[in-house]
Amino acid sequence: MKLVRFLHKNVVCSGALEGEAILPEGAKDASENIPLQDVKLLAPVKPSKVVLVGLNYLDHAKELGMEIPEEPIIFIKPPTTVIGPGEDIIYPASSSRVDYEAELAVVIKDEIRNIKQAEAEEHILGYTCLNDVTARDLQKKDVQWARAKSFDTFSPVGPWIETELDPADIAVRSFLNDELRQDSRTSEFIFSISYLIEFISGVMTMYPGDIISTGTPHNVGPMNPGDKITIEIEGIGLLTNSIVL
């Protein structure tokens, strides 16, 4: 099932995408379906926080010449970074290099704290695409990453939440102006999704709709105003955004 948030007749709604139509939440039957072409898709969730993993692909670690971490390296983006499909990524005036990072994102279903790996799956609502946009020059300049990662619009998410997905070995790709840039598989993960949920929920309470983003593969790179960036995750779909000043 594909869960969506959307704008229809100036009203924000939720529902389930079925083919080219959306069955709104609370609708009784298909007679109340809304054609997909008649709505604007929004970010499928409004998280209280986005928790991301700094290094979680073997190929990315090799690319950077880094040792495999013993524990996940995590950081947080505020909810003000979240935008939906088709919305613009704003290139900040204080940065001279802004990068794309294709990531598989996990959406948490309920309030959790200190969850063990064996029970992690039952607390997952589903999966979506995320672009961990990063001001790379500021990331290198600052001691910590808060500024480089936290500009408004720096977490495009969507286009929907896929609730029926086996994430063990799926393709994660990015396309800059339709040219393939990143191409890897989740089988390259250093830390599994269930372990990430255990680790992160052992640090902080996660609320319904919160996002855990699982890291990016090799070959991250810069975007410029006027570019189009697409994140593609097998079994989910395409998340496309443009970069503007």
What domains are there in the chain, each with its CATH number? 1-42 (2.30.30.370), 43-244 (3.90.850.10)
Average of per-residue pLDDT across 5-32: 94
pLDDT digits (tens, 9 = 90+) for 75-102: 999 999 999 999 999 999 999 999 999 9
pLDDT at position 60 is 80
Band (16; pLDDT cuts 50, 70, 90)? very high
pLDDT digits (tens, 9 = 90+) for 111-140: 999 999 999 999 999 999 999 999 999 999
* Residue of 28 and 26 predicted with greater confidence: 26
pLDDT of residue 28 exceeding 90: no
Find the range with the poorest average confidence among 9-18, 54-63, 90-99, 222-231. 54-63
User: Residue with structure tokens 């005036």?
Assistant: 93
What amino acid occupies position 4? V
Cis peptide before 159 (omega within 30 of 0): yes
Hey, CA dihedral for 66, 82, 104, 37, is it positive or negative?
negative
pLDDT digits (tens, 9 = 90+) for 196-207: 999 999 999 999
Band (63; pLDDT cuts 50, 70, 90)? confident
Contacts of residue 169, Cβ cutoff 8 Å, sequence gap at least 6 = 185, 186, 187
Distance from C-alpha of 140 to C-alpha of 57, rounded to nearest angstrom: 20
State how far the alpha carbon of 13 is from the alpha carbons of 7, 17, 46, 82, in Å. Answer: 6, 12, 12, 17
Rounded to 5°, the CA angle 80-135-236 comes to 60
pLDDT at position 143 is 87
pLDDT digits (tens, 9 = 90+) for 171-220: 999 999 999 999 999 999 999 999 999 999 999 999 999 999 999 999 99
